[in-house]
Amino acid sequence: MKMRASHLTVRYGAKVAIKDVSIDIHANQVLALIGPSGCGKSTFLRSLNRMNDTVPGVSVTGQVQLDGEPIYGPEVDAVLVRRRVGMVFQKSNPFPKSIFENVAYGLRVGGLRERGAVADRVEQALRHAALWDEVKDRLHESGLGLSGGQQQRLCIARALAVEPEVLLMDEPASALDPIATAKVEELVSDLRDQLTIVIVTHNMQQAARVSQRTGFFYMGKLVEVGETTQIFTRPKERETEDYITGRFG
């Protein structure tokens, strides 16, 4: 067990976005979160690395544990949580820096100063993100000059470089073309050996392809979670079945 959310409720002001969500996130597995838009998938994901703390008016009750330790509480530093639980966003957001600096930045913030070591880790992260061959000759050009799919893989490399234990991905391929999407999916499957991944997707085929476990969210609640094959072939709940058979959503 890598992470565990228990009775997690998140409100934006008075509006309840997710309600009483409890879920176990297994180590070295991919957990896919599916559900119609607005059902709270992003909100849940962002509560796993305390990203919601940065939104004004948010309140979180319940608890999330990382390796058995609570991540919410006065004694916990959210910055350190985010170093261990990285995140890739729906819309790629490279920094207005060079490709190299995009990846190196997090390393330096983490305290790595030695130039050779930084360069090695940058290369390693770019290789992991399947981007190295495409950018190795132009590492010092702007990250914003890359194509959409490359930018997203750059963001993945940036997140991987700091060696997080868990990687949260919020619809990482929703803005990408099919080829770029396939690359990201392949990447997700490969990365499972090294870390734990939680991926939000509105694409059920994608969830089926990349994940071992799937959770279905509906109207702020976690309706059902289980083995991906079970969710897609023998869902226990009626709402899950309606959703995956395309009757709504």
Partner 1 sequence: MTAPARTTVAAPTRRSPTISSSRKAMNNVMLGLCVAATALTLAVLAWIFGYVLIQGARHVNLAFFTNLPAPVGEPDGGFLNALVGTAIMVGVASAIAIPIGVFAGIYLAEFGVGWLAWTVRFVNDTLNATPSIVAGLFAYTLIVLETHRFSAFAGSVALAVLMIPTITRTTEEMIRLVPRALREGALALGVPEWGMTLQIVLPAAASGVVTGIMLAVARVSGETAALLFTAFNNRFLSASLNEPMSSVPVQVYTYAIAPYEDWHHQAWAGALVLVTLVACFSAAVRLATRNRHQSLT
Ligand X SMILES: Nc1ncnc2c1ncn2[C@@H]1O[C@H](COP(=O)(O)OP(=O)(O)O)[C@@H](O)[C@H]1O
Tell the smallest beta-carbon distance from residue 213 to partner 1 (Å): 23
Phi, psi of 216 (to 5 degrees): -110, 120
42's tokens? 């992003």
Out of 42, 43, 47, 49, the residue judged to bind partner 1 by CB under 8 A: 49
Q: Is 86 helix (H, G, I), strand (E, B) or coil?
A: strand
Q: Does 80 bind partner 1 (CB under 8 A)?
A: yes
Pairing of strands 30-34, 15-25: unpaired
CA separation for the pair 127, 123 (Å, rounded): 6
The nearer residue to partner 1, 91 or 238, going by C-beta atoms, is 91
Least distance CB 105 / partner 1 (angstroms): 7
Q: Which residues contact ligand X (rule: CB under 6 A)? A: 12, 15, 17, 35, 37-43, 55
Site for partner 1 (CB under 8 A): which residue of 35, 106, 215, 220? Answer: 106
Interface with Mg ion, residue 98, by CB under 5 A: no
Q: How far is the CB of 15 from partner 1 (least distance, A)?
A: 19
Bridge pairing between strands 58-66 and 166-170 = unpaired
Name residues contacting Mg ion, limited to 27-56 (CB under 5 A).
42
- Cβ neighbours of residue 173 under 8 Å, at least 6 residues apart? 152, 180, 181, 184, 185, 201, 203, 206
Chain residue whose CB lies nearest Mg ion:
42
Nearer to partner 1, 93 or 229 (CB): 93
Check: CB of residue 7 under 8 Å from CB of residue 23.
Answer: no
Strand (E) or helix (H) holding 104: helix 99-109
Q: Which of 109, 120, 138, 148 binds partner 1 (CB under 8 A)?
A: 109
C-beta of residue 106 within 8 angstroms of C-beta of residue 161: yes
Measured torsion, CA atoms of residues 121, 123, 128, 131, in degrees rounded to the nearest 10 = 150
Compare residues 149 and 164 and give the one whose CB is closer to partner 1.
164
Picked from Mg ion, partner 1, ligand X, none, the partner binding residue 49 (CB below 5 to 8 A depending on kind) is partner 1
Site residues for partner 1 per CB under 8 A? 49, 51, 54, 79-84, 86-87, 89, 91, 93-98, 105-106, 109-110, 142-144, 155, 158-159, 162
